[in-house]
Structure 1
Amino acid sequence: MIRNYFKTAWRNLLRNKIYSFINIIGLSLGLACAMLIMLFVKDEVSYDRFHKDVSHIYRIVSKAKRNGVVQKSIHTGYLQGPRFTQNVPGIQSFVRISGGARDIKKGADVRSQNLLNVDSGFFSMFTFPLLHGDAKTCLVEPRSIVFSEDAAKKQFGSTDVVGNTVMVKEDSAFVPYKVTAVARTCPQNSSIKFDVLLPFKESVQDANNNENWYYFFLNTFVVLNPKANISIVEKQMQNFYEKDARQIFDELNKKYDNGPDPQMGTYFLQQFTDIHMNPELPATNGLSDESNPMYSYILSGIALFVLLIACINFVNLTVARSLKRAKEIGVRKVIGSRKKQLIVQFLGESFFLCVIAFISAILLVEISLPVFNRLSNKALSLSYLFDTKLVTAYIALLIITGLLAGFYPAMVLSGYKPVETLYGRFRLAGKNYLQKSLVVLQFTFSAFLICATLVIYRQFDFLTKADLGYDDSNIIELHKDGMNHRKAALFKATLLQNPNIAAVAAKNGGRWITDAKLGNDSFMSFEYETIDESYLPALKIPLVMGRNFSKSFPFDSTRSILVNEAFVKKAGWKHPIGEIVNFYYNNNEIYHVVGVVKDYHYLALNQKIEPQMFTMKNDNQYGQFNIKIKPNTAADCLAYIQKKFKDFFPLSPYDYTFKNEKNLKEYESEAKWKQIMLFGAILTIFVSCIGLFGLSVLAAEKRTKEIGIRKILGASVNGVVTILSKDFLKLVCIALIVAVPAAWMVANKWLQNYPYRITIGWQIFAAACFLVVFIAMATVSFQAIKAAVANPVKSLRTE
């Protein structure tokens, strides 16, 4: 019996090549899409789970209410780890981690190396196997250094380098560090990734200074006793913290007058495996690969859409073709086949097609995996497919797909009455509401994704082309930390000797955020920028009031400041020129506003412009130069800049970026999702259209005699095409009526994440509707025109 079913399924497959191909290619695409997304999700949820006893590893985090808003923080200081470990019974050990960079010298070459500063128990808490060295002692000595195997090969050409020394910059001098271990390359699904580790350095004074409860700059991890109750541990942590830090908190609050609602804050624990996909408490400051669970949800939704559409095609085509198999079913029933046997037969055919599609899907995954890795910023391998859990999931996916695609057709086909089918009186009953509903559903999915893709494209285009409020073209950012004003002025003068360099402006490195007291005794936080007098003109940042800094005013380098419009607005100043700002924590230094800078996007457009203050204070160091060059002179200017940089700073690494390229990198996430949504939309519309094509072929076949009679009676080709297409057009229009409002609501909600965003106009949805209708009608019209131009005599003879 099974052999007979297999033969029937194979013959049916070969006899109906077009429909079989449509079903197989649709299911293959759906299954391949689902497999890729399962790989992605598996990688996301597997982050950090390779560590031994990972369920007992937690990060110390905190929350506090500021101005009525609860703010969470991942940062801790020197004291949280050691003091909680010593005084809370449930905590066994701690490790502190902070990101950083050091200059490492090899011969005459000096390079800046990103690294992690960690406590000596790092390898005891986290499972990073060593190729060479002792995990327990490799970070004990203050001038120890641990390389990853890739970094060791790059630095020495080998991994067997324990005992070798490298020159690492400390303060202003290079000192020897001894290589004590070489670790295996960190797994791809690790939030902690490192090339170099240095021991965390803490002085006795820092360890005993209670003010360091409030010096937040690192991550602190703890291991809990397996029997510890996390709620009790958190309560004990908070009780100890309030007891130990209360006095210093009150002293600091009184000293700096922290405002009307100062809070000590509340400490709690975040499970290590929760870090990777937690947007509120992300993987930053030495940790990497922070993600958002929304990515997995969106990708899973796309995969489900494609797979459902493929299954819908299968159901529609199988039911639509049922008339051609009606006599076969009638004969089987007459000779004794029971309904149950027919259901098994048709389900078997469904699974047979699914198995072929499944094998094709694996091949598609192998072919498309490199492209998917680039889109998703992953390093997934085909070997991941053979993970035990994933194999089980794929088998389940195959079974569910087979049942989903085959169950309804099997029930319909097995229910045909033999007398009607054998006498040729059988017709599908009703108005095929289910079939029509399924067509509407799949085009609703397609239209929804097309609308979403167009919105994402428009927003990405806006982010990358919007006026930033300054000119970022032909500007080289040259980085040099810890530079005093005198040295900067000399270097600047040297660069300006090159005729292709139009302007040079110095600025602090990184971001400085602080707060100060205003003249009305209110407090305000703001971005604190140290610039020179050339910064605003070089970037073409306009002033809206007052004047720029100038060397003609000696007071500018000591007590003058500029503020932006956002600062003025938040401060509530009506006449900002002459207003004062008091740096109360720095011996009440008073600064006077001499100018107001027009708001410009100093951060990416996915972040709101915040209050900003500019100073030329001599005591503040510069950290970068913004060098404006003439167009088409980049190669010559870079060679000149590099030579002069080495002349001035021979022991510092030469590091530069082009400002416009740096700005574009801020939108890498949006660019990635733009591509993913585009591929998703293309897949859904393609699978929908191949199903629609199959249905249009069947519709034309069923109406062959009608078309022949109409043509003999004088019907035009356009008239016949309209008759064959209008029913499908109605279904597509219904799908658009459902999809457009849903897409509008979701798009509006998504755009709320951006302080600067496009306005969704009717044009986007009109374009999406036109695109969907055009593609659908092009698909249907191909077969309709073919049927309309056929010789009516042949059409009538075939009937």
Structure 2
Amino acid sequence: MKPHAKPPRWATTLLRWWGHPDTREEVEGDLLELYPHWVRTQGPRRANWRYALSALRLLRPFAQSKHVPDHQPFFVFHPDMIRNYVLVAWRNLTKNATYSFINLVGLALGMACSLLIGLWVYDELSYDRFVPNHEQVHYVRVNFSIRGGDTQTATATPGPLSDAIARDVPQVAMTTKLTWPSERLVRVGDKVAKETGQYASAGFFDVFALPAVEGNPKTALANPNQIVISQTLARCYFPSGKAVGQTLQFDNNKVFVVGAVLNDLPHNSTLRFDWLANFNAQEQVWQTEWGFNSVQTYLRLKPTATAQQAEAAMKGLFRRYTTFNNKEEIILQPLTDMHLWSTYENGVAVGGQVEYVRIFAVVALFILLIACINFMNLSTARSALRAKEVGVRKVVGAGRLALIGQYLSESMLMSLLGVVLALLLVWLTLPTFNAVFDKHLALDLTNPLYWLGIGGLVLLTGVLAGSYPALFLSGLRPIRILRGAGLSFGPGSAFRGPAQFRRLLVVVQFSLSIFLIIGMLAVGRQMTYLRTKHLGLDRTDVVYMRLEGTFNDYEKTEAFRQELLQRPSVASATTTAHLPLNIQSSTTDLHWAGQPAKQLVDVSAMSVGNDFIKTAGIQLLDGRDFRPNAIADTACYLVNEAAAKLMGMDKPVGQQITFWFGKGPIIGLMKDFHLGSLHQPIGPLVVAFMPPNVQYLLVKPRAGQAKQALADLERLTKQFNPNYPFAYHFLDEAYEKLYDREQQVSTLINYFGVLAILISCLGLFGLATFTAEQRTKEIGVRKVLGASVLAIVRLLSVDFVRLVLIALVLATPLAWWAVSTWLGTFAYKIDLGWWIFALAGLLALGIALLTVSFQSVKAALMNPVQSLRSE
């Protein structure tokens, strides 16, 4: 042995740092005397190992007794050690800047996506919870038995139902009924605008105890000549003083006195109004009859009552007030469920917006999991480079729990940095997010729930991302590591397990990404199908406008229509009570020969004016349309195929039915067209000829003359109805509004799906970079032996391609089930072809190859002289 042989610097440094001052010098002297002997007899490597173990055995009792209180776990919770954990973690992050940056960006993007989706989900779950004592408020729905034994749930209810419940059901404290939201022209001095509101019965503020800024809303609503307005309307029309006591005019004729001003309703409310007037101010005769489902009914239960008790007390209520023997059932829906649970099947709430809340909660978890997988992949990939550090720490006394604490502290630090960057990203993107999705989300950092959520996200991400690296690295055997064994990922290595686990993580990561790609493709195709499907009528370039003011007079409306038809740009025009693509009115006032005794059936109904079939482009399978201005046709009806099937009529034309305006013949059979969204199958429809009972004018321009037709329509409107602003819409727009929710979901899944793929590619890029670094010398040798660039790229890429293909096989059945479940909410949907899954696989494979090939080509083009210089 050379005379100057001595222990390595790391061993003597640790001995001096670790030992107690009273014993360190003595122990060090003894070990230095023994060290040359160990080198001669056992070799330098075993001598280093024996030197470290002897130092641990001799000095650890002193270190424990002086440095750590007896009641604490050694090396984990001591403040000095925690400070050391953070310091070492920070040094590792800065030392490996490239991988730290990839990890940080991936975690930040994943956490930002999760935070945005979390805000969206929290907002969706918070609807109507601002209403005082909202637990007692319920929405009234009615289940009707229809032909075939199925149950249909009506959203609208008869006008008299509210008062009947208040009289007959002792569990109910108060009821109210509302019309559907509508626009009215509001005028105060020179200020004129259309404002949206509702008519409500006097018990509204007993059911909804909404706070008022001015006045008493209960007494104001009870007076048919007073009105309740929102704070926004008060500021708009009465900016200089109090609004209570001021007057405003509706539709240039009805004058209301402002009786109260309410706080503005929050955005997360199913109630939508800026004004509220007494129901009696607009009540029609048909709204007092049991056969017309025309209003919304709400009630408040007594504090001691339950919804089940009230529903039991309502059984048979319809039979007390009607002559029908229908199996109707009144059901109560909690106010806070209305937004989330809007879809009913066979009388049971089965879904609605809650389905999308669940979907995006899962998407948020997927994206966060993908980001955490990036961290785990890169940490385990680089674990061989930190093996000696683990061995040294174990030699000097660090237990496995201490090492787990160290590596979890690193992941927690990364998670903390990630959430700071994520909060910045969320703050920057929230305005755009709110604009795209029509939301009012905000980072309310004064809310303790937000901090609780952020803290939980940091903890979840830190533990999820750092758990496997911590458990694996802390379990390495120091003897093998310090002897230089097991520092590769080959067979027999201590790192072979992590390499396999890393491949598994890549498979999981790309399985989630492929799942989202399939979702993006399927949802996009379904949205295209909704936009392009022929609905059974002509909606292209059809313009509609609401009839108001002068047009409330039927004769003036008809004169206006006839004048419009004289314009060469207009092909036809008609009037309707509802837009034909969104018929909201239903009735049980349909009877026919052979109908089961006293059985009610709920059918859609609409009154129309002249030229309805021609303007709407509906196909008549049999019979004729209503004759222009034919009074005799007011007792005649058109039915669709679904109505004919309901009544069991193969040849309905000429057969008698009893409907709104008495008994009369069916004069025409319409081919089925969609009455609402494609979520629901086409239901039975009866159309009556009643030109005075209409609300909309529909105009069909001639081909290529839509612009001129609009100009003619505007000019004539200002001539016939000068006191109202000209406003028009296209029927296509009204149809697309039926799918606002689906369109938002499609946009959300596209945005977050792309981000998930980007995060996956970040991790794959990091792994490809590390793999290229680890195999630099191998690549140099292969190039020297004649390997081409393509062969090198193929060598580095083939493993990743194999993993992506495995991910495709695993993701396909799960994605098929999830997409099929979502498509099942539509009565009319696309076929889920195999090519969607094949295209998703090709996209994922292409993205993976592009990500990996960048580093592969870079490594393949490297000069082999540089990589082999150290050999």
**TM-score grouping bracket, smaller chain normalisation:** 0.7 to 0.9
Distance change (3 Å), C-alpha of 1:531 and 1:147 = closer
- Are the structure 2 counterparts of residues 368 and 166 from structure 1 closer, same or farther at C-alpha, using a change threshold of 3 Å? same
Question: What is the CA distance between 1:158 and its match in structure 2?
Answer: 4.8
2:728 alignment partner, SS class: strand
The equivalent residue for 2:541 is 474
- Residue 275 of structure 1 aligns with which residue? 338
Match of 1:312 among 368, 373, 377: 373
Match status 1:161 vs 2:222: no
CA contact (8 A) 1:346 1:410 kept: yes
With over 3 angstroms needed to count, the CA separation of the structure-2 counterparts of 1:537 and 1:247, relative to structure 1, is: closer
- Distance, in Å, in 1 between the alignment partners of 2:669 and 2:631 is 17
Deviation at 1:645, TM superposition (A): 2.3
Over 3 Å counting, the alpha-carbon distance change for 1:570 and 1:294 in structure 2 is same
Could you tell me how far apart the structure 2 residues matched to 1:89 and 1:600 are? 44
Residues 84 and 550 (structure 1), Cα distance of their counterparts in 2 relative to 1, 3 Å cut: closer
**Contact preservation (8 Å) 1:130, 1:184:** yes
Q: Is the 8 A contact 1:210 1:248 kept in 2?
A: no
How far apart, in 2, do the equivalents of 1:35 and 1:167 lie?
Answer: 46
Aligned twin of 1:402 = 462
CA contact (8 A) 2:573 2:611 kept: yes
Q: Say if 1:526 and 1:199 are closer, same or farther in 2 by CA, change over 3 A.
A: closer
> For residues 760 and 63 of structure 1, what CA distance do their matches in structure 2 show?
33
- TM-score w.r.t. length of structure 2: 0.81
1:194 has 2:273 as partner: yes
CA distance in 2, matches of 1:541, 1:73: 26
Quote how far apart the aligned CAs of 1:374 are. 3.4
Moved more, 151-160 or 433-442: 151-160
Structure 1 residues 558 and 98: alpha-carbon distance in aligned structure 2, compared to 1, 3 A threshold:
closer
| Counterpart position of 1:256 | none
Q: How does 1:245-264 map to 2 (within 5 A)?
A: 246-249=319-322, 252-253=323-324, 262-263=326-327
1:220-244 CA deviation, whole Å, 9 max, x = no partner? 4333343345544444454xx64xx
**Equivalent residues of 1:642, 1:654 under 8 A apart:** yes
| Structure 2 counterparts to residues 637-676 of structure 1, below 5 A | 637-650=709-722, 654-676=726-748
Q: Distance in 1 between matches of 2:160 and 2:193?
A: 32
**Partner in structure 2 of residue 43 of structure 1:** 123
Which residue pairs with 2:590 in the alignment? Answer: 516
Match of 1:180 among 236, 259, 263: 259
CA distance in 1, matches of 2:678, 2:140: 31
Corresponding letter in the other structure for 2:573:
V
Partner of 2:787: 715
Counterpart of 2:683 in structure 1 is 610
1:64: Cα distance to partner? 4.4
Distance in 2 of aligned mates of 1:531 and 1:232: 43
Partner of 1:128: 210
Residue 579 of structure 1 pairs with residue 646 of structure 2 = no
Tell me, yes or no, if structure 1 residue 557 matches structure 2 residue 557. no
Q: Deviations over 1:571-594 (max 9, x none)?
A: 555445x4313116644x22143x
Q: 1:468 to 1:158 in 2, by over 3 A?
A: farther
- Distance in 2, Cα, partners of 1:767 & 1:57: 49
**1:49-448 to 2 correspondence within 5 Å?**
49-67=129-147, 68-85=149-166, 88-101=169-182, 102-106=184-188, 112-158=194-240, 160-168=242-250, 174-201=253-280, 216-238=293-315, 242=317, 246-249=319-322, 252-253=323-324, 262-263=326-327, 265-280=328-343, 292-383=353-444, 385-426=445-486, 427-428=488-489, 429=494, 430=496, 432-448=499-515
Spell out, residue by residue over 1:422-451, the C-alpha distance to the aligned partner (whole angstroms, 9 max, x if none).
343223433533211111111110001101
Structure 2 stretches of 5 or more lacking a match?
Answer: 1-80, 346-350
Deviation at 1:460, TM superposition (A): 0.8
* 1:769 positional shift: 0.8
State the one-letter code of the partner of 1:411.
Answer: L
2:298 match: secondary structure: strand
Closer/same/farther in 2, CA of residues 304 and 334 from structure 1, 3 Å limit: same
Q: Does 1:460 align with 2:524?
A: no
Task: Assess, with a 3 A threshold, how the Cα gap between structure 1 residues 56 and 598 changes in structure 2: closer, same or farther.
Answer: closer
Residues 364-401 of structure 1, C-alpha deviations (whole Å, 9 max, x = no match): 11112123323443211122x44212211221221121
Counterpart of 2:544, as a letter, is E
Aligned partner of residue 294 in structure 1, secondary structure? helix
What RMSD over aligned residues (CA atoms) do the two structures have, in Å? 3.3
For residue 761 of structure 1, the aligned residue among 820, 824, 833 is: 833
Per-residue deviation at 1:652?
5.8
Task: Note closer, same or farther for the CA distance 1:635–1:149 as it changes in structure 2 (3 Å cut).
Answer: farther
Match of 2:27 in 1: none
Q: Tell me the CA shift for residue 477 of structure 1.
A: 0.9
Q: 2:54 aligns to what?
A: none
Name the SS for the 1:138 alignment partner: helix
Residues 518 and 524 in structure 1, CA contact (< 8 A), matched pair in contact too? no
Gaps of at least 5 residues in structure 1 are 254-260, 283-289
Task: Find the counterpart in structure 2 of residue 681 from structure 1.
Answer: 753
Distance in structure 2 (CA, Å) of the matches to 1:607 and 1:640? 37
Instruction: Tell me: CA distance 1:98–1:513, structure 2 relative to 1, closer, same or farther (3 Å).
Output: closer
Greater shift after overlay, 775-784 or 660-669? 660-669
How many Å separate the matches in 1 of 2:578 and 2:191? 23
Opposite residue 314 of structure 1, the aligned amino acid is F
Is residue 460–residue 670 contact of structure 1 (8 Å, CA) maintained in 2?
Answer: yes
3-state SS in 1 of match to 2:294? coil
In structure 2, the CA distance between the partners of 1:80 and 1:494, relative to structure 1 (3 Å rule), is closer
Q: In the superposition, relative to structure 1, how do residues 779 and 175 fare at CA in structure 2: closer, same or farther (>3 Å)?
A: closer
Confirm or deny: 8 A CA contact 2:174 2:206 kept in the other structure: no
* 1:9-55 Cα distance to aligned partner (Å, 9 max, x none): 22211111111011111111121122122212222222222233333
| TM-score for both structures, normalised by structure 1 | 0.88
Structure 1 residue 550: deviation in Å?
4.7
Letter in 1 for 2:681: K
User: 8 Å contact 1:118–1:199 — kept in the other structure?
Assistant: yes
Q: CA deviation at 1:194?
A: 2.0
Inter-partner Cα distance in structure 2 for 1:155 and 1:182: 12
- Cα deviation, residue 719, structure 1: 0.9
Amino acid at match of 1:168: F
**Given that residues 136 and 302 in structure 2 are in contact (C-alpha distance below 8 angstroms), is that contact kept between their aligned partners in structure 1?**
yes
Shift in alpha-carbon separation, 1:158–1:294, aligned structure 2, 3 A = farther
Alpha carbons of 1:18 and 1:739: their partners in 2 closer, same or farther (altered >3 Å)? same
Q: Which residue of 1 aligns with 2:93?
A: 13
SS at match of 2:862: coil
Distance in 1 of aligned mates of 2:602 and 2:220: 42
Paired amino acid for 1:309: I
Query: Which stretch shows the higher mean deviation, 103-112 or 765-774?
Result: 103-112
* Residue 736 of structure 1: aligned partner: 808
Mark the CA change 1:584 to 1:230 in structure 2 (over 3 Å): closer, same or farther: closer
Higher alpha-carbon Rg: 2
Task: Please give the secondary structure, in 1, of the residue aligned with 2:221.
Answer: coil
CA distance in 1, matches of 2:163, 2:595: 38
Greater Cα shift, 673-682 or 750-759? 750-759
Deviation (angstroms), 1:310: 0.9
The whole-number CA distance in structure 2 between the counterparts of 1:546 and 1:230 is 49
3-state SS, counterpart of residue 137 of structure 1:
helix
Pair 62,772 (structure 1): closer, same or farther in 2 beyond 3 Å: same
| Correspondence 1:3 to 2:76 | no
Q: Helix, strand or coil for the counterpart of 1:504?
A: strand
- Cα deviation code 1:251-289 (max 9, x no counterpart): x32xxxxxxx623x333543332323222479xxxxxxx
Q: Structure 1 residues 127 and 796 mapped into 2: Cα distance closer, same or farther (>3 Å)?
A: farther
Cα distance between partner residues in 1 of 2:626 and 2:220: 51
